[in-house]
Structure formats: structure tokens, C-alpha cells
Amino acid sequence: MEKIVALCKRRGFIFQSSEIYGGLNGAWDYGPLGVELKRNLKDYWWKCMTQLRDDIVGFDGSILMNRAVWKASGHEDTFSDPMVECPITKKRFRADQIEPLTGKVKTFEGYKISGSEENPIEVSLGKFPVFVQSEKQAIKTADAYFRTRVNDGTPITLQERESQSVENSTAFNPENGALLSEPRIFNLMLKTYIGPVQDDSAITYLRPETAQAMFVQFKNVLDVSQKKLPFGIAQIGKAFRNEINPRNFTFRSREFEQMEVEFFVKPGTGPEWLEKWREERLAWYEAVGIPRAKIHVLTVPEKDRAFYSQGTYDLEYEFPFGIQELEGIAHRGNYDLKQHQEHSGKPLEYFDEEAKAKYLPEVVEPSAGVDRTVLAILCEAYAEETIKDEESGKEETRVVLRFAPRIAPIKAAIFPLLKNKPELVAIARDIYKTLQPLLKVAYADTAAIGRRYRRMDEVGTPFGITIDFETLEGAKEASVSATGTPISAGQKDTVTLRHRDSMKQERIAISDLPAYLLTKVT
């Protein structure tokens, strides 16, 4: 993971937010290549949902909404995590994510020494249990705890009291063994105020999911799009959560993007649509370079599901830091529409012309994280290989990002073999200018050609196009071009096409380049 994080910074995929001021935990900036990768991913999702399907329409809701939305949806009361705190380090943990510990717990009693030097008096500071990772660590933790109680350099002493065994206990800090605080409920929504007066009437929240705007506007969208059930609304946008422990690079952030579909279906058909969406989404991940074998489908047990859910699948990816959720696909019943209908007093029912009946549809919601998918794609694409340098013959390590061409930030790089040969440069510039309006291309003329290939491999550019002497003088030998058409010996105006993954090189006619590349990257 460290190598991927370092590459992301070195080559301009992802930077820490506010880095020059020491950063901001849980916020990330996408650099020049990261933004292309992310945009390609979102564009492909958008195309699959709204262009290639007849039953989904697009939508872009506002981040700020009336506070009543969050009351009705249940977020204001229930969008929270139980949180515990270490009394020594003040670090907070989600109570349901503490690593369970089995072993010995020792209780220490701490004393502070007061009174005079001639007549010292020991005053008890109370007792404190510590999970024993080692005797030394337990004493260090107990000592640190009682020091927080006196807070001024007063000397303290420790006495060991009881000792007991615990099994799978989540009451202790796995980092230092200290007993954690009782869980407290912590709302994850980021609160803000609308307008100049910061009182209760001005409160609202930065949306914690994009979904709610689609429920609230269900009727408007339905009326204007004249769709019949089943039909869906798709949206991509920012969401904000005041996560207790942002971690694992961009995986758990406080600001992130979601790609969500609210798919409205006839009552009773939710379960079958849940199955359909699971398959649809697995195929989509495969199309962006995450193989089916690397995705685990978790059937979320009832006790772990959101209270509104009648069935949820989590699609999880094998990240280097563990198997973790990429996307949740939930059958939300008619919970959301019902809540908004009740709280707003506005009818949100669908009129079924065939059945001549009004009802609230059920909803199946595939909800994916943009940033998590980008991270999974980076992890999946990253490879290191030992290869022989074509010029020096020496062995070297090649770092390559094997992105699916459709989401690669740069699709092709154009290289004149030598930058001081005007005839080569003129053709290279010409090809670059021809391709530039069609797809994202780069032009590189410095360093030896092998080095230039390597730099493009490292950012995942699938195709290298080299304008060489055979372009000017004619192909040395006959071959079959990348498009399958023959190239004859002596044929001019061909270039070397190098493939990133196989490093195979073949010739292709310059005139065939646009069509060839476009079919490969869409």
C-alpha cells in the first residue's frame, strides 16, 4: 500500500489536502492524472446507467437541503456511530470496530504523594484496569493514566490489585491496553448554518449521501420523464461524513463522492431486482478492470443491515489492507418515499395505469463510492516486473499501472524517436494534433525512448506511438498491422505501436491510428 500511496503522490494522482499546512485528516486532492482517472470512471458509470439503458434518467441534486429532509429520512436521529475514547491518548474508535482481545487484565491503584517531605501522605487516585500486552506496557499505561488524573508533575505510585482473564473483550484500547470509555453516540453528519444568524433555525447538514435528493424529487422526475415502473434515477456527487477514524488512504474519507441509482420498482418485485442489480454491478466492475474473482459478495445479515433495508449485498474488494466494501446494494422497500410523503404532506405515490392503482414503489439502490473504486483500481492495476532494458540490456524493475484502457488517464503517448530530427518531430506533432480532439494523448520527446516508455507505463498509458526512421524511409519488412491489415516492406507513413502490458511492438499505418485507438478505449 505504501508503494501505491507514494506513486500516487509522485506522479500526481492523489495528494493530501492542505498538505503545506500539515494536511486535513480525511480529505484528499486529486492531481492532474488522478482527476482524469476519476472522471473517466464517473463518465463510464454515467454512460452505463443513463446512456446505455432506457430505464434510468440522470439527476444532479444540491448538497445543501432543507433540514426537514434529514429529519424525515431518519439521519438526524440515527445516522450515528457508537464511539469510545482512550482516556490517555484521547483517540476515538468506533465501538463496533475494536479488535477483540483475549488474555489477562490487571487492575492498578494509583496514589499521588502529597503532604510535606517529612510527612508524605499517599492519596488514592482510584483504580484502573489495563489489558496486559506485556508487564512493562501495562505499568506504562497505568502510569500514563494516573498522570492524566493529577495533571501537574505530582509524583505518583502504583499498586497492583486484582487480575482477571478476559475473552474477546472490546473494552480495551488495542494500542496500549487502557480501558476505553463507555460508548457515546456520535452523529456523522457535518452540521452547517444557512444565512447570517447561527441559531437552531439556521441549521442544516452537508449531505451524507446523494440518495435523499432523488427521493425528494421522485415525483418531479417521474412527471417530466414520463417513465413507467421500473425506472431509476442516477446521480454522482459529493457526500460528507464526519468519520471518527478516517483511514487507509482515501478508503474512509470525510469528503468523498458517490455514484448512486435509486431504482423504483413495483411492490413485491424488490427482491428480484436486488439480484439483477448485483449481477449488473459485478459486470460493471469487471469492465473497469476489477475482476469478478477479486470481489466478494457479502449477504449482509439482518442484524447488520440499515434498519430500512429488506436485503443488502455488499460488494467487497480485496484491498491490501483487507477485504472491504466498495458498494452496497440495498432493497430499501418504500421506506424513504413513505417518510417524505408523511413528513412533507405531499403525495409521492405512483399511478399504475394498467392496474388502475396508486402505490408507493419499492426501491433498490446500488450505491458505489467513486474514491473507493479509484483506490481499488489503483491497487488492482499496480504491478512491478523485472525486465531487460531494450538499450542497455540491463535488468531493471518496471512499475506499471495496468488500467483498463477505457479509464486510463492518458490513452496514448506520442514519441518522436529523436527530438533533433525535424522530419520525425513534424510527423509526431501532426499525429498528436490529429488525436488530441479525440482522446487524451501526451507528447514526450525528452530522454531515451525506453525511459519514455517506462514513464508512461508508470501512469498506465496503454499505447505508445513512436515515429521512427521506418516512418520516413519505409517499413523494413512486411508485417500484419495492429488492425489486421497487411503492411508491405518499404511502406511509408507507418509508426511503431507499443502495447503497455505485453510491451509488444508492431507497425500501424498513421491513417489507421484514430479508428484503432478509439475502438480500444471506449
Give residues in contact with ligand GAP (CB under 6 A): 209, 211, 241, 243, 252-253, 256, 258, 260, 325-328, 365, 367-369, 371-372
Minimum gap (Å) between residue 210 Cβ and ligand GAP: 7
Q: Are strands 357-359 and 350-352 parallel, antiparallel or unpaired?
A: antiparallel
By beta-carbon proximity to ligand GAP, the closer residue of 325 and 506 is 325
Closest CA to 363 of 284, 261, 236: 261
Please tell me the distance from the alpha carbon of residue 75 to that of residue 335, in angstroms, as a whole number: 13
Please tell me the distance from the alpha carbon of residue 299 to that of residue 281, in angstroms, as a whole number: 15
Minimum gap (Å) between residue 369 Cβ and ligand GAP: 2
Minimum gap (Å) between residue 49 Cβ and ligand GAP: 15
By beta-carbon proximity to ligand GAP, the closer residue of 332 and 507 is 332
Please tell me the distance from the alpha carbon of residue 65 to that of residue 74, in angstroms, as a whole number: 14
Lookup: cell for 16: 493530501
Query: 288: how many CB neighbours lie within 10 A of its CB?
Result: 20
What 8-state DSSP symbol labels residue 490?
A: T
By beta-carbon proximity to ligand GAP, the closer residue of 317 and 453 is 317
Quickly tell me which residue has 516508455 as its cell: 453
Cross-strand bridge partners of residue 316? 296, 325
By beta-carbon proximity to ligand GAP, the closer residue of 95 and 413 is 95
Three-state secondary structure string covering 132-157: CCCHHHHHHHHHHHHHHHHCCCCCEE
Minimum gap (Å) between residue 315 Cβ and ligand GAP: 8
Tell me if the bond preceding 230 is cis, omega within 30° of 0: yes
Please tell me the distance from the alpha carbon of residue 317 to that of residue 320, in angstroms, as a whole number: 9
Nearest residue to the partner ligand GAP, using Cβ: 369
By beta-carbon proximity to ligand GAP, the closer residue of 258 and 494 is 258
214 contacts: CB under 8 Å, gap ≥ 6? 59, 61, 221, 233, 235, 260, 262
How many residues are present in the chain? 522
By beta-carbon proximity to ligand GAP, the closer residue of 207 and 500 is 207
By beta-carbon proximity to ligand GAP, the closer residue of 318 and 325 is 325
Minimum gap (Å) between residue 368 Cβ and ligand GAP: 6
Minimum gap (Å) between residue 204 Cβ and ligand GAP: 18
Minimum gap (Å) between residue 467 Cβ and ligand GAP: 43
